[in-house]
Amino acid sequence: MNNFILIFFFLALGLILQHIKQFPTHIYKVLNKIVIYICLPAITLYHIPKIKWSNELLFPIASGWISFILAFVFFHFLGKRLGWSNKLIGCLILTAGLSNSSFLGYPIIEALFGKKGLETAILVDQPGTFVVVSTLGVFVAAFYSKGSPDAFSIFKKIIFFPPFITFIVACLLNVFQYDLEVNLQTALLKIGSLVTPLALLSVGLQLTFNRKSQHWRFLRLGLFFRLIITPSIIFVLYVFIFNQHSEAIKITIMEMAMAPMITGAILASTYGLKPKLSSMMIGFGIPISFVTLAIWYFVVSFI
């Protein structure tokens, strides 16, 4: 419950601060950089070394990658066919292709499936959606933010992206079965806990409610893809094609039905990919997802 209160508190705080003349609303750019360059690497270094790998983990981990690739194919070809700008296509891929598998996902999964369910939720999030946003997400952001993208410059952006660097380091720690000192882990956990309040405050500072905005139809399409199409495809693929019926599969489908990932929206905003639309995807996606998640929980109960 505390997490849900925080969501609406920091979104509302950002909206309120927009109307205070003395407050520098462009500070969201600084908040974005703190989230991406400091908080996210801390989360990676804390969680990845603790993961125990096995073949059974492939389905939860693969879901985030499948989701993003589906969004890339769908919005890239649809956007090119309809003559959308590169920035619009990139924004929709980053926001509709990534689920909020941690901040929303963790408390919801724990409430529905207990603490045991968190083990699957972490797998969907850390080696799944989080690594996707640190690699393919950066590629998409760099690719669609430039008129004539240079492959080498995009490659440099990925390998020097702090969350990606720390992911490699964390994987090496995992391989050699080494974890960081306890006090350092505590510090990383506290730094990582700043992701949500800072990211939501940034979203709130950019969120606008303009009835004449041209973003509404793209918002509807993006949220329909995120909340309905993606979990439907994962459901059919895992349950009917791969014949999987475990509780881990139920949790994976629920994670794929979460609202758009805050980090994806922050990345889109940082690279100038329709920041207003990316904020709308979060601001409207979170409350709407509570309704669609209830429907999906009913659906997965039959697995």
Spell out the per-residue pLDDT of the chain, length 303, in tens. 566 677 788 888 988 998 898 888 789 889 988 988 898 889 889 888 887 777 778 999 999 999 999 999 999 999 999 999 999 999 999 999 999 988 788 878 888 888 788 778 888 988 899 889 988 999 999 999 876 556 777 788 778 888 888 888 998 999 998 999 999 999 999 998 888 788 888 878 877 776 777 889 999 999 999 999 999 999 999 999 999 999 999 999 999 999 999 889 989 998 999 999 998 999 899 889 989 999 999 999 998
First to last CA, the chain: 27
Please give the C-alpha separations between residue 257 and each of 29, 102, 205, 245, in angstroms, as whole numbers. 28, 12, 26, 17
* 147-152, long-range: CB < 8 A, 24+ apart: 147/86
Cβ–Cβ < 8 Å for 75, 264: no
d(CA 118, CA 232): 22
Number of Cβ within a 10 Å radius of residue 70? 18
Nearest by Cα to 119 from 229, 244, 246, 241: 246
Residue 232 has a pLDDT of 98
Q: For 111-144, how does the pLDDT look when each residue is reduced to its tens digit (9 = 90+)?
A: 888 878 877 888 898 889 988 998 899 999 999 9
Backbone torsions φ then ψ of 102, nearest 5 degrees:
-105, -75
Q: For 155-206, how does the pLDDT look when each residue is reduced to its tens digit (9 = 90+)?
A: 887 788 888 888 889 989 999 989 999 999 999 999 988 887 888 888 788 7
Residue 225 has a pLDDT of 98
d(CA 303, CA 293): 16
Residue 1 has a pLDDT of 57
Residue 154 has a pLDDT of 75
Helices in the chain by DSSP H: which ranges?
Answer: 2-18, 28-34, 40-47, 58-82, 86-96, 105-113, 115-124, 131-134, 136-145, 151-159, 162-175, 182-192, 195-206, 216-224, 230-235, 247-256, 262-270, 275-300
Cβ–Cβ < 8 Å for 40, 163: yes
Residue 207 has a pLDDT of 74
Measured over the CA atoms of residue 28, residue 31, residue 36 and residue 40, the dihedral's sign is: negative
Residue 149 has a pLDDT of 59
Query: Domain spanning 26-197+213-300 has what CATH number?
Result: 1.20.1530
Please give the C-alpha separations between residue 63 and each of 38, 95, 100, 170, 184, in angstroms, as whole numbers. 26, 16, 13, 21, 31
